[in-house]
Amino acid sequence: MHMKREITRPDLVCPAGSLRALQMAVDAGADAVYLGLRDATNARNFAGLNFDDAQVREGVRYAHARGRQVLMALNTFADARDDSPWRRAVDRAAELGADALIVADSAVMAYCRDHHPGMRLHLSVQASATSYEAIEFYRERYGVQRAVLPRVLTLQQVKHVIAHSALDIEVFGFGSLCVMVEGRCALSSYATAQSPNTAGVCSPPSAVRWTNGAEGVEARLNGVLIDRYAADEPRGYPTLCKGRFEVAGRRDYAIEEPTSLNSLSVLPQLIEAGVRAIKIEGRQRSPSYVAEVTRVWRAALDLARSDSRYAVQPAWSAELSRWAEGQQHTLGAYDRPWR
Protein backbone atom coordinates (compact mmCIF):
# COMPACT_ATOMS: atom_id res chain seq x y z
CA MET A 1 0.00 0.00 0.00
CA HIS A 2 1.36 3.40 -1.00
CA MET A 3 1.24 5.94 1.84
CA LYS A 4 0.47 9.61 1.04
CA ARG A 5 2.99 11.76 2.96
CA GLU A 6 2.77 15.41 3.94
CA ILE A 7 6.16 17.03 3.36
CA THR A 8 7.42 18.60 6.59
CA ARG A 9 10.74 19.86 7.86
CA PRO A 10 12.55 16.88 9.38
CA ASP A 11 13.61 16.95 13.00
CA LEU A 12 17.34 17.28 13.58
CA VAL A 13 18.35 14.52 16.02
CA CYS A 14 21.80 15.00 17.55
CA PRO A 15 24.12 12.89 19.74
CA ALA A 16 24.88 13.50 23.40
CA GLY A 17 27.59 11.47 25.06
CA SER A 18 27.67 13.88 27.99
CA LEU A 19 25.54 16.55 29.62
CA ARG A 20 27.76 19.25 28.11
CA ALA A 21 27.28 17.79 24.63
CA LEU A 22 23.51 17.70 25.19
CA GLN A 23 23.42 21.35 26.19
CA MET A 24 25.59 22.40 23.26
CA ALA A 25 23.44 20.42 20.81
CA VAL A 26 20.27 22.07 22.09
CA ASP A 27 21.87 25.53 21.96
CA ALA A 28 23.08 24.89 18.39
CA GLY A 29 19.58 24.03 17.15
CA ALA A 30 18.89 20.33 17.65
CA ASP A 31 15.21 19.43 17.76
CA ALA A 32 16.02 16.31 19.77
CA VAL A 33 19.06 14.74 21.40
CA TYR A 34 19.72 11.07 22.03
CA LEU A 35 21.68 9.64 24.93
CA GLY A 36 22.35 6.40 26.80
CA LEU A 37 22.91 5.11 30.30
CA ARG A 38 26.27 4.02 31.68
CA ASP A 39 25.80 0.32 31.07
CA ALA A 40 25.48 -2.33 28.37
CA THR A 41 21.90 -1.32 27.52
CA ASN A 42 23.23 1.26 25.05
CA ALA A 43 25.41 0.76 21.99
CA ARG A 44 28.02 3.38 22.90
CA ASN A 45 29.11 1.79 26.15
CA PHE A 46 32.47 3.55 26.57
CA ALA A 47 34.06 4.52 29.88
CA GLY A 48 33.74 8.25 30.48
CA LEU A 49 30.66 8.58 28.29
CA ASN A 50 26.92 8.48 28.93
CA PHE A 51 24.61 9.54 31.72
CA ASP A 52 23.72 8.73 35.30
CA ASP A 53 20.19 9.40 36.57
CA ALA A 54 20.95 12.91 37.83
CA GLN A 55 22.45 13.90 34.48
CA VAL A 56 19.50 12.49 32.53
CA ARG A 57 17.15 14.46 34.77
CA GLU A 58 19.11 17.67 34.22
CA GLY A 59 19.37 17.01 30.49
CA VAL A 60 15.63 16.46 30.20
CA ARG A 61 14.98 19.65 32.19
CA TYR A 62 17.36 21.65 29.99
CA ALA A 63 15.91 20.33 26.73
CA HIS A 64 12.26 20.58 27.72
CA ALA A 65 12.71 24.15 28.95
CA ARG A 66 13.73 25.02 25.39
CA GLY A 67 11.03 22.98 23.65
CA ARG A 68 13.34 20.12 22.60
CA GLN A 69 13.09 16.36 23.14
CA VAL A 70 15.32 13.74 24.76
CA LEU A 71 15.46 10.23 23.27
CA MET A 72 17.06 7.43 25.28
CA ALA A 73 18.96 4.71 23.43
CA LEU A 74 18.31 1.25 24.90
CA ASN A 75 19.54 -0.23 21.67
CA THR A 76 21.58 -3.32 22.48
CA PHE A 77 20.10 -6.82 22.63
CA ALA A 78 19.11 -8.06 26.05
CA ASP A 79 21.03 -10.93 27.64
CA ALA A 80 18.85 -14.03 27.37
CA ARG A 81 20.17 -15.22 30.74
CA ASP A 82 19.07 -12.03 32.51
CA ASP A 83 17.17 -9.23 30.83
CA SER A 84 16.49 -7.35 34.07
CA PRO A 85 19.04 -4.56 33.33
CA TRP A 86 17.11 -3.70 30.17
CA ARG A 87 13.75 -3.78 31.94
CA ARG A 88 15.13 -1.56 34.71
CA ALA A 89 16.51 0.82 32.10
CA VAL A 90 13.06 1.15 30.53
CA ASP A 91 11.56 1.93 33.94
CA ARG A 92 14.30 4.49 34.61
CA ALA A 93 13.77 6.18 31.25
CA ALA A 94 10.06 6.54 31.94
CA GLU A 95 10.67 7.87 35.46
CA LEU A 96 13.34 10.34 34.27
CA GLY A 97 11.05 11.86 31.64
CA ALA A 98 12.52 10.63 28.34
CA ASP A 99 10.30 11.49 25.38
CA ALA A 100 11.01 8.25 23.51
CA LEU A 101 13.06 5.08 23.68
CA ILE A 102 15.27 3.89 20.82
CA VAL A 103 14.99 0.10 21.04
CA ALA A 104 16.30 -2.87 19.02
CA ASP A 105 15.32 -5.96 21.05
CA SER A 106 11.77 -7.28 20.64
CA ALA A 107 11.64 -8.43 24.28
CA VAL A 108 12.48 -4.90 25.41
CA MET A 109 9.80 -3.53 23.08
CA ALA A 110 7.27 -5.96 24.52
CA TYR A 111 8.14 -4.84 28.05
CA CYS A 112 7.66 -1.20 27.03
CA ARG A 113 4.34 -1.99 25.36
CA ASP A 114 3.02 -3.91 28.37
CA HIS A 115 4.33 -1.76 31.25
CA HIS A 116 4.68 1.72 29.74
CA PRO A 117 2.05 1.91 26.99
CA GLY A 118 2.30 5.70 26.84
CA MET A 119 6.02 5.66 26.06
CA ARG A 120 6.89 6.46 22.46
CA LEU A 121 9.04 3.78 20.79
CA HIS A 122 11.58 4.30 18.02
CA LEU A 123 12.99 1.27 16.23
CA SER A 124 16.78 1.43 16.50
CA VAL A 125 19.05 1.08 13.49
CA GLN A 126 20.41 -1.93 15.40
CA ALA A 127 17.16 -3.77 14.61
CA SER A 128 18.30 -3.90 10.97
CA ALA A 129 14.86 -3.27 9.50
CA THR A 130 15.63 -2.53 5.85
CA SER A 131 12.18 -3.14 4.32
CA TYR A 132 8.77 -1.65 4.94
CA GLU A 133 7.42 -5.15 5.68
CA ALA A 134 9.87 -5.55 8.58
CA ILE A 135 9.06 -2.08 9.88
CA GLU A 136 5.34 -2.77 9.68
CA PHE A 137 5.83 -5.90 11.81
CA TYR A 138 7.28 -3.81 14.62
CA ARG A 139 4.53 -1.21 14.29
CA GLU A 140 1.73 -3.78 14.45
CA ARG A 141 3.26 -5.94 17.18
CA TYR A 142 4.82 -3.35 19.49
CA GLY A 143 3.38 0.03 18.55
CA VAL A 144 6.64 1.47 17.23
CA GLN A 145 6.10 5.00 15.92
CA ARG A 146 9.42 5.72 14.19
CA ALA A 147 12.07 3.57 12.51
CA VAL A 148 15.73 4.46 11.99
CA LEU A 149 16.97 3.01 8.70
CA PRO A 150 20.36 1.27 8.43
CA ARG A 151 22.99 3.09 6.37
CA VAL A 152 22.96 0.54 3.56
CA LEU A 153 19.95 1.73 1.57
CA THR A 154 20.11 3.77 -1.62
CA LEU A 155 18.09 6.96 -1.89
CA GLN A 156 15.55 5.13 -4.07
CA GLN A 157 15.23 2.37 -1.47
CA VAL A 158 14.70 4.95 1.28
CA LYS A 159 11.94 6.54 -0.80
CA HIS A 160 10.33 3.14 -1.36
CA VAL A 161 10.30 2.36 2.37
CA ILE A 162 8.80 5.76 3.22
CA ALA A 163 6.15 5.46 0.51
CA HIS A 164 4.89 2.16 1.96
CA SER A 165 5.34 2.75 5.71
CA ALA A 166 2.67 3.95 8.11
CA LEU A 167 5.17 5.34 10.62
CA ASP A 168 7.85 8.03 10.68
CA ILE A 169 11.21 7.27 9.07
CA GLU A 170 14.54 8.58 10.36
CA VAL A 171 17.81 8.41 8.42
CA PHE A 172 21.43 9.21 9.17
CA GLY A 173 22.69 12.48 7.72
CA PHE A 174 26.25 12.79 8.96
CA GLY A 175 28.86 10.82 10.89
CA SER A 176 31.06 7.77 10.87
CA LEU A 177 30.02 4.95 8.59
CA CYS A 178 29.88 1.23 9.22
CA VAL A 179 30.52 -1.19 6.38
CA MET A 180 28.28 -3.78 8.06
CA VAL A 181 24.50 -3.76 8.34
CA GLU A 182 23.91 -2.41 11.82
CA GLY A 183 22.76 -5.05 14.28
CA ARG A 184 24.12 -7.89 12.15
CA CYS A 185 27.85 -7.44 12.68
CA ALA A 186 29.74 -10.05 14.67
CA LEU A 187 33.21 -9.29 13.31
CA SER A 188 34.84 -8.06 16.52
CA SER A 189 33.37 -10.93 18.53
CA TYR A 190 35.78 -13.26 16.73
CA ALA A 191 38.67 -11.41 18.37
CA THR A 192 37.11 -10.48 21.73
CA ALA A 193 34.37 -13.10 22.31
CA GLN A 194 32.04 -10.17 23.04
CA SER A 195 29.27 -9.34 20.61
CA PRO A 196 29.01 -5.62 19.79
CA ASN A 197 25.23 -6.07 19.84
CA THR A 198 25.22 -7.04 23.52
CA ALA A 199 28.40 -5.50 24.94
CA GLY A 200 27.50 -2.13 23.45
CA VAL A 201 30.78 -1.47 21.63
CA CYS A 202 32.63 -3.00 18.66
CA SER A 203 36.03 -2.89 20.35
CA PRO A 204 35.59 -3.25 24.12
CA PRO A 205 38.09 -0.92 25.83
CA SER A 206 39.32 -3.81 27.97
CA ALA A 207 40.54 -5.55 24.79
CA VAL A 208 42.28 -2.52 23.24
CA ARG A 209 46.03 -2.11 23.67
CA TRP A 210 48.39 0.57 22.33
CA THR A 211 52.08 -0.32 22.36
CA ASN A 212 55.27 1.27 21.02
CA GLY A 213 57.00 -1.00 18.52
CA ALA A 214 60.06 -0.74 16.35
CA GLU A 215 57.94 0.33 13.35
CA GLY A 216 55.58 2.67 15.17
CA VAL A 217 52.65 2.64 17.56
CA GLU A 218 50.70 -0.60 17.32
CA ALA A 219 46.96 -0.93 17.95
CA ARG A 220 45.79 -4.38 18.98
CA LEU A 221 42.40 -5.85 19.79
CA ASN A 222 42.77 -8.75 22.21
CA GLY A 223 46.24 -9.35 20.80
CA VAL A 224 45.23 -9.06 17.13
CA LEU A 225 47.30 -6.40 15.35
CA ILE A 226 44.82 -4.01 13.71
CA ASP A 227 47.00 -1.11 12.68
CA ARG A 228 50.42 0.49 13.01
CA TYR A 229 50.88 4.26 13.09
CA ALA A 230 53.85 6.55 12.59
CA ALA A 231 54.65 8.77 15.56
CA ASP A 232 52.99 11.85 14.01
CA GLU A 233 50.10 10.02 12.30
CA PRO A 234 46.51 10.57 13.50
CA ARG A 235 45.09 7.52 15.27
CA GLY A 236 41.48 6.45 15.15
CA TYR A 237 39.82 4.18 17.67
CA PRO A 238 40.83 0.65 16.60
CA THR A 239 38.15 -1.56 15.07
CA LEU A 240 38.72 -4.62 12.89
CA CYS A 241 36.69 -3.27 9.98
CA LYS A 242 38.81 -0.10 9.76
CA GLY A 243 42.19 -1.71 10.31
CA ARG A 244 45.04 -1.71 7.81
CA PHE A 245 46.21 -5.18 6.82
CA GLU A 246 48.64 -6.71 4.35
CA VAL A 247 46.73 -8.23 1.42
CA ALA A 248 48.58 -9.51 -1.64
CA GLY A 249 51.71 -7.71 -0.51
CA ARG A 250 50.00 -4.37 -0.04
CA ARG A 251 49.20 -2.77 3.32
CA ASP A 252 45.96 -0.79 3.22
CA TYR A 253 42.39 -0.63 4.49
CA ALA A 254 41.21 -4.09 3.52
CA ILE A 255 37.56 -3.81 4.54
CA GLU A 256 36.61 -0.17 5.08
CA GLU A 257 38.46 3.11 4.75
CA PRO A 258 37.73 5.71 7.46
CA THR A 259 35.32 8.28 6.06
CA SER A 260 32.16 10.08 7.17
CA LEU A 261 28.71 10.03 5.65
CA ASN A 262 27.65 13.50 4.53
CA SER A 263 24.26 13.71 2.86
CA LEU A 264 23.92 17.52 2.63
CA SER A 265 23.87 17.34 -1.17
CA VAL A 266 20.77 15.11 -1.21
CA LEU A 267 18.96 16.86 1.65
CA PRO A 268 16.19 18.29 -0.60
CA GLN A 269 15.51 14.79 -1.96
CA LEU A 270 15.32 13.35 1.56
CA ILE A 271 12.86 16.06 2.59
CA GLU A 272 10.81 15.55 -0.59
CA ALA A 273 10.68 11.81 0.12
CA GLY A 274 9.08 12.48 3.50
CA VAL A 275 11.92 11.73 5.90
CA ARG A 276 10.74 12.82 9.36
CA ALA A 277 14.12 13.00 11.10
CA ILE A 278 17.79 13.39 10.19
CA LYS A 279 20.22 11.82 12.66
CA ILE A 280 23.77 12.93 13.35
CA GLU A 281 26.08 10.11 14.50
CA GLY A 282 28.68 10.66 17.21
CA ARG A 283 27.87 10.12 20.88
CA GLN A 284 31.51 9.15 21.34
CA ARG A 285 32.68 12.48 19.84
CA SER A 286 33.48 15.72 21.66
CA PRO A 287 30.95 18.41 22.65
CA SER A 288 32.67 20.71 20.12
CA TYR A 289 31.98 18.20 17.33
CA VAL A 290 28.34 18.01 18.39
CA ALA A 291 27.94 21.79 18.52
CA GLU A 292 29.61 22.57 15.18
CA VAL A 293 28.00 19.74 13.21
CA THR A 294 24.58 20.59 14.68
CA ARG A 295 25.02 24.25 13.75
CA VAL A 296 25.80 23.39 10.12
CA TRP A 297 22.88 20.98 9.80
CA ARG A 298 20.47 23.42 11.44
CA ALA A 299 21.39 26.04 8.84
CA ALA A 300 21.12 23.50 6.00
CA LEU A 301 17.71 22.22 7.07
CA ASP A 302 16.36 25.73 7.46
CA LEU A 303 17.63 26.74 4.02
CA ALA A 304 16.38 23.59 2.33
CA ARG A 305 12.85 24.21 3.59
CA SER A 306 12.77 27.91 2.73
CA ASP A 307 14.70 28.21 -0.55
CA SER A 308 13.99 26.16 -3.68
CA ARG A 309 17.50 27.09 -4.93
CA TYR A 310 19.15 25.26 -2.04
CA ALA A 311 22.84 24.55 -2.54
CA VAL A 312 25.49 23.23 -0.18
CA GLN A 313 27.44 26.21 1.12
CA PRO A 314 31.26 26.05 0.90
CA ALA A 315 31.51 27.09 4.55
CA TRP A 316 29.39 24.07 5.57
CA SER A 317 31.63 21.67 3.70
CA ALA A 318 34.75 23.24 5.16
CA GLU A 319 33.39 22.97 8.70
CA LEU A 320 32.23 19.38 8.31
CA SER A 321 35.58 18.41 6.79
CA ARG A 322 37.22 19.35 10.08
CA TRP A 323 35.12 16.76 11.89
CA ALA A 324 34.85 14.02 9.26
CA GLU A 325 36.54 10.71 9.96
CA GLY A 326 39.75 10.61 7.94
CA GLN A 327 38.82 14.15 6.74
CA GLN A 328 36.82 12.47 3.97
CA HIS A 329 33.15 12.70 2.99
CA THR A 330 30.97 10.24 1.12
CA LEU A 331 27.32 9.86 0.18
CA GLY A 332 27.68 6.23 1.15
CA ALA A 333 24.88 3.99 -0.02
CA TYR A 334 22.70 6.97 -0.94
CA ASP A 335 24.64 7.20 -4.19
CA ARG A 336 25.42 3.98 -6.08
CA PRO A 337 26.05 5.02 -9.68
CA TRP A 338 26.86 1.47 -10.69
CA ARG A 339 23.32 0.26 -9.97
State pLDDT tens for residues 156-198.
999 999 999 999 999 999 998 876 677 777 788 888 888 777 7
Q: Please indicate whether residue 277 or residue 226 has the higher confidence score (pLDDT).
A: 277
Architecture of domain 11-177+259-334: Alpha-Beta Barrel (3.20)
Domain ranges of the chain: 11-177+259-334, 199-253
Non-local (6+) Cβ contacts of 154 within 8 A are 333, 334, 335, 336, 339
What's the pLDDT at 156? 94
Sequence-distant (6+) residues with CB within 8 A of 22 are 16, 33, 35, 59, 62, 63, 70
- Quickly state the pLDDT bin for 336 (edges 50, 70, 90): low
Mean pLDDT of 30-46: 92
State mean pLDDT over 90-112. 97
Report phi then psi at 235, rounded to 5: -120, 125
Q: Which amino acid is at 100?
A: A
- All residues at 6 or more sequence positions from 248 whose CB lies less than 8 Å from its CB, including other chains: none
User: Residue 2 and residue 261: Cα distance in Å, rounded?
Assistant: 29
pLDDT-derived band at 90 (thresholds 50, 70, 90) equals very high
Cα 193 from Cα 187, distance rounded (Å): 10
pLDDT at 337: 60
Distance of CA 181 to CAs 72, 102, 152, 184, 294, Å? 22, 17, 7, 6, 25
The torsion angle over the Cα atoms of residues 240, 242, 243 and 246, rounded to 10 degrees, is 110
pTM of the model: 0.90
Enumerate residues 6+ apart whose C-beta is below 8 A from 133.
none
Residue 280: predicted pLDDT: 98
pLDDT of residue 178: 74
Query: How far is C-alpha 300 from the geometric centre of its chain's CA atoms?
Result: 20
**What torsion do the CA atoms of 330, 332, 334, 335 make, to the nearest 10 degrees?**
70
Contact 55/47 with Cβ under 8 angstroms? Answer: no
User: How far is CA 153 from its chain centroid?
Assistant: 15
Q: How far is the CA of 138 from the CAs of 18, 67, 87, 153, in angstroms?
A: 30, 29, 18, 19
* Spatial contact of 325 and 284, defined as CB atoms under 8 Å apart: no
Q: Point out which residues pair with 120 in neighbouring strands.
A: 100
Question: What's the half-sphere exposure (Cβ side, CA atoms, 13 Å) at 131?
Answer: 3
User: How many angstroms separate the CA atoms of 173 and 331, rounded?
Assistant: 9
CB 98 within 8 A of CB 128: no
pLDDT value, residue 240: 81
What is the chain's alpha carbon radius of gyration, rounded to the nearest angstrom? 20
